[in-house]
Structure 1
Amino acid sequence: MEIRAGGLDHPDVVALLEEHFAEMLAASPPGTCHFLDLTKLAADTVHFFTAWKGETLLGCGAFQALSDDHGEIKSMRTTKAALRRGVAAALLSHIEREARAHGIRQLSLETGTGAPFEAAHGLYRRFGYGYCPPFGDYEATDFNVFMTRTLD
């Protein structure tokens, strides 16, 4: 597996993100989705990565700088064909390394609750993320949860 920086202009990446956006909207109550669209993922404060096996896209993920030392994980997604093959763990490890290299000492995230989000909660807990209060501009709802981790 190769993890590459960027890729937002690749049609397979665009298709995966559009699938991600649609599924998040379908699985979430109105007003509770906080994903970054393609334009916002291309912002200077966002570091976007894709995972590949040859020319086959396996997944994507990003982090966004919230301050000099705090970042937020965004747009973690694995293709259906690559589920449960370690892609999300590899991307998360890569994101953490890159965040450290950019001076980020704390990574946080917002995600949903219920069955569609259980695998994500498990992944983040395995990596040492714990539940926390809302951060940044987020407000708590019955649907969303917040997790954070201090990077070593």
Structure 2
Amino acid sequence: MSASLSSGEVRVVAADLSDPRVAALLAEHLAEMEPTAPPESRHALTLDQFRVPWVRLWVAELDGALVGSVALKEVGPGHLEIKTMRTSAAVRGRGLGRVLLAHALGEARASGASRVSLETGVVPLFDAARALYTSAGFTPCEPFGTYHPDRHSTFLTLEL
């Protein structure tokens, strides 16, 4: 998939987990998540956790640089979870989050999923993400899958 941003053409492609740029992008994501909540309340995946068949990761590439990511993880029959939804600081505010979300929802629909859910943080760092999800029709829900109530998390879902 490709889309235009104000700064150029971005391509969203399946991640090559052997690409050191993917490892660096995921490490950047984990580092940014670290101060947002205690360890037991952080649910970002590590590179090794993407090496299972029930998790799919895509990356956004702009001018040879990886500038974003989004993943889908199977929760149960017809139910997927959005994981590792991220845009690099250098491109935030240019519409890449909307491109990544549209890609993930398109992939979810194509796979036959009937529901997509997510967990995200509650601190101000996550305000823009929550606004994006809400604008796409996500609504609050109870913890799903293996999650439990947590004051550091909010849970959202979208029926497809």
Q: If the length of structure 2 is used for normalisation, what is the TM-score?
A: 0.90
Q: Distance in 2 between matches of 1:19 and 1:53?
A: 17
Q: Distance in 2 between matches of 1:42 and 1:30?
A: 22
SS across alignment from 1:98: helix
Structure 1's unaligned 5+ residue stretches are: none
* 4+ residue segments displaced more than 4 Å: none
Residue in structure 2 matching 1:14, options 23, 34, 38:
23
Total equivalences in the alignment? 151
Q: Distance in 2 between matches of 1:103 and 1:36?
A: 24
Between stretches 3-12 and 135-144, larger displacement belongs to 3-12
- The structure whose residues are more often strand, as a share, is 2
Q: 1:134 offset after TM fit, Å? A: 0.5
Counting only pairs closer than 5 Å after superposition, residues 132-147 of structure 1 correspond to structure 2 as: 132-147=141-156
Residue aligning to 2:4: none
Between stretches 83-92 and 28-37, larger displacement belongs to 28-37
CA contact (8 A) 1:68 1:103 kept: no
Q: If the length of structure 1 is used for normalisation, what is the TM-score?
A: 0.94
Residue in structure 2 matching 1:71, options 68, 77, 80:
80
Residue 57 of structure 1 aligns with an amino acid whose one-letter code is: L
Counting only pairs closer than 5 Å after superposition, residues 121-132 of structure 1 correspond to structure 2 as: 121-132=130-141
Identity %: 39
Give the RMSD, CA atoms, in angstroms.
1.1
Residue 99 of structure 1 aligns with an amino acid whose one-letter code is: A
Counting only pairs closer than 5 Å after superposition, residues 82-101 of structure 1 correspond to structure 2 as: 82-101=91-110
CA contact (8 A) 2:14 2:57 kept: yes
Instruction: Report whether the alignment pairs 1:148 with 2:157.
Output: yes
Change (3 A) 1:47 1:30: closer
Structure 2's unaligned 5+ residue stretches are: 1-9
Q: Distance in 1 between matches of 2:51 and 2:156?
A: 24
